[in-house]
Each structure stands twice: as C-alpha cells, then as structure tokens.
Chains A and B, each alone.
Chain A
C-alpha cells in the first residue's frame, strides 16, 4: 500500500495551465470503485481519454494470513486457506492439503481424490459464474449477472450440503475430506450438472451475438505472449493467448490424469478470447464432474493414518487407542517431517502454488502462497497503458482477480 504515489503530471503541470496546452489529469480509481472488484486502487494518468500511466496500489485487504499460519497447527491452517481466495476456497483447501500430504508422504484413498476433483471443478464453475456475471455487468449487460448468480446459488447450496458452509467450506482436509458426503448428494449434483450446459447456452445467446459486447471485447487488451509470461500471468488469460498452460494436465494432482478433458485455448489474446476460454472451461468442468459422478469409487474418504486423521467419533468413545490419538491430535496437533514443498494446482484464476516449509514441529515454519491474482494484477499497467480508459474496465474485468487472493 503506497500513499505517496507521485505522478509525472503533478510535476509537469505547475505553471502550464494556459488554454490549449495539453493537460493531463490524474484519476484515482478505487479503492471502493465497483468495477475494481474489491479494494483495488489504481492511479490513472490521463490525457484526454487515453491512459498514459497506471499504478495499481494493493494491500488494502492484507490480513497477514501467512503470518497467522505460523501461529496455528497444521490442520487449523485449513480454515485460513478458505479466506485467501473467497471464490475458490476449495482449490485453496486442496493445494494446502496436497502440500502437507506430500511432506507426510500420505496415500489418499481413491474416493477422496475423486471427490476433491469433483468439488474443485464445481468451485471452478462457481468462480467463473461470478466472474462472468460481474464482468458482463461492468460492460453493461445486466441480465447475465442475474442468470449467473441463479446457478451460483445452486452450487453454494451444494457446498452447504457437503460442509455446512456456503463459502468458507474447509471441506478438504489433510488426509482426505472433513466428513462423509451427505445422503443423496449424487442426485443433487447430477440434477445441477445436467441442467448447466443449457444454462451456459443461455448466457452465450445473450452475449455472443450482442453487438455492444462484441465491440467492447473483441481486439481489446492484447499483449504479446512473451511479455505475458514475463510479467507472471497465468490461467485463462495465458490460455487465451495460445499457451496450453494448465497444472491439471502438466503436473496432474489428485488423479486428474484419469479424467478425460481438454484445455481450451484461443489465439486471439483479447478480452473476448478470455471470455470464450472461461466459458469453454465451464463446459469442460461439467464433463469432469459428470465423469466423477459416473465413476466414483467406493471406500473411505480419509486416509488410514491415525496420527494425522481424527478418529471416528464412535471409535473415540469406545476404544482406548483411538481416544489417545484423538487427544494427541487435538492438543498437540500433527507433526510433519522437516522439509519443503511447492505444490501447484490450477485454481480458476491460474497457477496457485503453496510453498510450505516444515521444521518437524506441529506448526508450519512458513506457508507462502503464490496466488494467481497477484501475478495477473502485476500485468495491469502493461495491459491498460496507452489505451482508452473505457477499455481499462473491460481489461480489468477480463483478468478476473480477487483482492483477497492478491493481498492475503
């Protein structure tokens, strides 16, 4: 967060206010502007309607999550990972759990892995729905917002059914899942996922032939691919530039290699291409969820690791050994062997990597979150400088950043 942003306009402007002289204007956008999707402040220097310089100012939502991780037990950190990216909480649960499981060298049962895939794909659909609704709203298409939030509500009800929470689910835990999935979940997920493709058709029918939408998005927000990689962009933005960079394919985790899906790409590299890629991703996620439903393995949802996973309540009350394990885990926490891992998953926004360091105790030595929003937002000046200010709204929307994810 920087309060002393100096602009060239302030220094050049002094004594040069005679009429006809080119005058620059400094516009402070945010931190409460609705189209900045959270608390992002961008100081924009304008000449007429052209953006000369853009300086993003972040940190308004910095809550010290990485610091708090060092003060909590290994399992307690799960609840903080929810709060990093509040639109992709299950992806964050998953990447942290995978990292700790890698340090513990824990084998996760097939059913838990498939449930994780299914839930993170639902998260992806959820996140893309929120993105599509708000992005279309920024550009002026209001109906899409209501339609997207209708489907999002269905997904949140599913999450509530699984975990008891709509947003901060904490459902994926170290060693498997928090709970057995509830009775009747297959039917509810199936009903939702069967109707989704027709709903996506509905959004596309509203946007793909809409002349205003096309004019606002086609050919807007281009950047050379090398520069995009150079400034740290990942996720749908980089795939819309033609690079099939997706952790689900490149380094599969949680048995993604057993699922049949493609990574949608485009070579247009504009705002419309990013929209098209995300819509195609929603359809691919639908396919993955359907496959997960059809081939869901039988068995436990938690690993057979009594020193890591809390015992069953019934066993805890009837068996001495289970009671001891329960007591040890709750009072001391689990201990994780010393080491360090960098685990990457594909979050809806891009490369989500957790760098977890253990010194062998019951608390992490360091949890660093490489979040996609931070990397994507860094490219904002490259994307909007020397372009029209109205386009900057469309470009910002197309990056799909979440400020909680960025500031942590």
Chain B
C-alpha cells in the first residue's frame, strides 16, 4: 500500500495504478524518492519504470541490517535522464536464504553491480548470466561486507606477522 504522502507523486502513483500489489511503502526524505518494493515484484517495477523513460539503472547495492530481520535491503537507483529524476527502489529480503530476481533482464548495467552485491553480501540474483566473484578472489570464503564479517582478525590478516 502506498502511504498518504506519496499519493501526489507521479512516479509512485503510476506504479500503484499499474499494480496495487507492487509497492510496500516509501518516503521522500531529503527530497529523494524512495519506494519500497515487494521483492517478488521487482522486475515488474523496473519494467514499468523503463517504460516511463527511466533509461538507466545507476547502481545496485545492498545494506545489511544485521541482526535485524529481514536482514538485507537490496537498493536500486534508477535514473531518468530526460525527466531529470532519480528513484530509489528498496527490497527487504531475509538472511535465511537471500534471493531476488536479477535485473539484468531489464537493464544490462545491473550485471556487474549484482555480481558485486553477490560477492560482498552473498545476495543471490536469480537468472543472472554470470554470477561469479568480481572483487574478491575466486577461492574466497564468506562475503566481506556483511556486518557479522570482521574488519580484521580474519584468517588472511597480515597483522602480527
């Protein structure tokens, strides 16, 4: 359901009109439009936005809210160059089995960003063409940007050597 303060927002209202089940909330804090999307519907929302002249996906990343559940927020920044607008989409997914559909089917640029998010957070993007490590070496264990992964003191630490 769309909160009251977003009823006047053209982007949010048009998405709500297309399918009332897509959005789970949102806000316009700091003059930035954030829409919370039901994780299963993320591809529908991205397709709808692409149809509204949002030409490019600026970035995909995640936030780890450990120990809260649902633990991960997968964040998409979508930009419309012709309308000069940014929209942030946010999907909350649990830490038990973090999975979400890959946005590569809609925006090609999601490819590396999703690889990075998988590498550093361990969020699996379903139907991604090449979901391999991009920043860390192939043999790396664990996902370093998770909050329960230590900053140092890991087995590869070079301190005290």
Q: Identify the A interface with B (CB < 8 A).
A: 1-4, 58-59, 62, 64, 66-68, 70-71, 102-103, 226-227, 229-232, 243, 245, 250-251, 339-342, 344, 351, 353, 355, 357, 365-366, 368, 370, 374-375, 378, 407-408
Separation in Å of the A246 CB from the closest CB of chain B? 10
Whether the pair A355, B75 counts as a contact (CB closer than 8 A) is: yes
Knowing A232-B109, A353-B77, the reply to whether A370 touches B137 (Cβ < 8 A) is no
6 interchain residue pairs of minimum CB distance? A232-B109, A370-B59, A62-B135, A368-B61, A59-B135, A71-B151
| Complex CA distance for A395 and B65, rounded to whole angstroms | 41
Does B58 sit at the interface, judged by CB under 8 A?
yes
Whether the pair B84, A251 counts as a contact (CB closer than 8 A) is: yes
Whether the pair B137, A250 counts as a contact (CB closer than 8 A) is: no
Does B81 sit at the interface, judged by CB under 8 A?
yes
Q: Pick from B1-9, B14-22, B29-37, B39-47 the stretch touching chain A.
A: B29-37
| Complex CA distance for A369 and B75, rounded to whole angstroms | 13
**Residue interface mask B67-78, A partner, CB < 8 A = 1:** 000000001010
Knowing A4-B138, A58-B134, the reply to whether A103 touches B30 (Cβ < 8 A) is yes
Separation in Å of the B161 CB from the closest CB of chain A? 18
Knowing A229-B56, A342-B77, the reply to whether A1 touches B135 (Cβ < 8 A) is yes
| Complex CA distance for A58 and B115, rounded to whole angstroms | 12
Chain A to chain B contacts (Cβ below 8 Å), 26 pairs: A1-B133, A1-B134, A1-B135, A2-B134, A3-B139, A59-B133, A62-B136, A66-B145, A68-B151, A102-B30, A226-B55, A227-B108, A230-B109, A232-B56, A232-B57, A245-B81, A250-B84, A251-B84, A339-B29, A344-B86, A351-B58, A355-B75, A357-B63, A365-B63, A370-B59, A378-B109
Q: Which of B140-159 contact A (CB under 8 A)?
A: 144-145, 147, 149, 151
Whether the pair A370, B84 counts as a contact (CB closer than 8 A) is: no
Chain B positions within 8 Å of A408 at CB level: 135
| Complex CA distance for A70 and B66, rounded to whole angstroms | 13
Chain B positions within 8 Å of A370 at CB level: 58-59, 61, 77
Count class of interface residues, chain B: 35 or more
Whether the pair B59, A355 counts as a contact (CB closer than 8 A) is: yes
Select from chain B the residue with minimum beta-carbon distance to A226: B55
Chain A positions within 8 Å of B134 at CB level: 1-2, 58-59
Whether the pair A342, B151 counts as a contact (CB closer than 8 A) is: no
Chain B positions within 8 Å of A344 at CB level: 86
Chain A positions within 8 Å of B108 at CB level: 227, 230-232
**Residue interface mask B88-110, A partner, CB < 8 A = 1:** 10000000000000000001110
Whether the pair B135, A407 counts as a contact (CB closer than 8 A) is: yes
Knowing A2-B133, A355-B77, A378-B109, the reply to whether A67 touches B58 (Cβ < 8 A) is no
Chain B positions within 8 Å of A3 at CB level: 137-139
Separation in Å of the B64 CB from the closest CB of chain A? 8
Whether the pair B59, A368 counts as a contact (CB closer than 8 A) is: yes
Chain A positions within 8 Å of B58 at CB level: 232, 351, 353, 370
| Complex CA distance for A289 and B142, rounded to whole angstroms | 47
Separation in Å of the A20 CB from the closest CB of chain B? 34
Select from chain B the residue with minimum beta-carbon distance to A62: B135
Chain A positions within 8 Å of B120 at CB level: 66
Whether the pair B61, A243 counts as a contact (CB closer than 8 A) is: no
Chain A positions within 8 Å of B32 at CB level: 341-342
| Complex CA distance for A245 and B108, rounded to whole angstroms | 19
* Extra 11 A-B pairs, beta carbons < 8 Å, given A1-B135, A342-B88, A370-B59: A1-B138, A62-B135, A70-B151, A103-B30, A230-B55, A232-B108, A245-B81, A340-B88, A370-B77, A407-B135, A408-B135
